């Protein structure tokens, strides 16, 4: 299996991944806007076919959010997700100035917490940090 990592992703491939992991497709306009306004998109292709992606939303200050970490179910467990996260973290580390600190957050899909713990993320709630929360607008 030949893997190629890129910093771009079409809305069609993004939706293909969303459907493959059970999240459902977005309308193409909304998907494209989300990709366009991401600080970084890391995608992985296996033999020229989409295999995974991860997005970075960043305020260019201290807060960074990793979103949409997706790998085709049949390719999970082969290091693709780890490599995409490491590329995002390396990008962020390159942005940090001498006296900066940066908080990197994400929301793990239920059951995927151990994957992120191996990469150094801590599970919430924990001492000093409450549970993550969300709210969907429709």
Q: What is the pLDDT of residues 37-67, one digit of tens each?
A: 999 999 999 999 999 999 999 999 999 999 9
- d(Cα 138, Cα 133) in Å, to the nearest integer? 17
- d(Cα 108, Cα 55) in Å, to the nearest integer? 14
Q: What is the pLDDT of residues 90-114, one digit of tens each?
A: 999 999 999 999 999 999 999 999 9
Helix H or strand E encompassing 114: helix 113-118
User: What residues have CB less than 8 Å from 113, skipping those under 6 apart?
Assistant: 123
């Amino acid at each position: 299996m030949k893997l190629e990592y890129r910093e771009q992703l079409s809305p069609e491939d993004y939706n293909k991944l969303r459907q493959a992991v059970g999240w459902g497709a977005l309308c193409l306009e909304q998907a494209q806007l989300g990709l366009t306004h991401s600080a970084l998109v890391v995608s992985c292709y296996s033999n020229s076919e989409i295999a995974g992606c991860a997005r970075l939303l960043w305020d260019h200050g201290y807060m960074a959010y990793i979103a949409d970490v997706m790998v085709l179910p049949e390719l999970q467990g082969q290091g693709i997700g780890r490599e995409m996260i490491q590329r995002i973290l390396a990008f962020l580390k390159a942005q940090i100035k001498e006296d900066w600190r940066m908080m990197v957050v994400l929301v793990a899909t239920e059951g995927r917490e151990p994957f992120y713990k191996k990469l150094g993320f801590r599970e919430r709630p924990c001492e000093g940090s409450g549970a993550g929360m969300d709210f969907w607008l429709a």
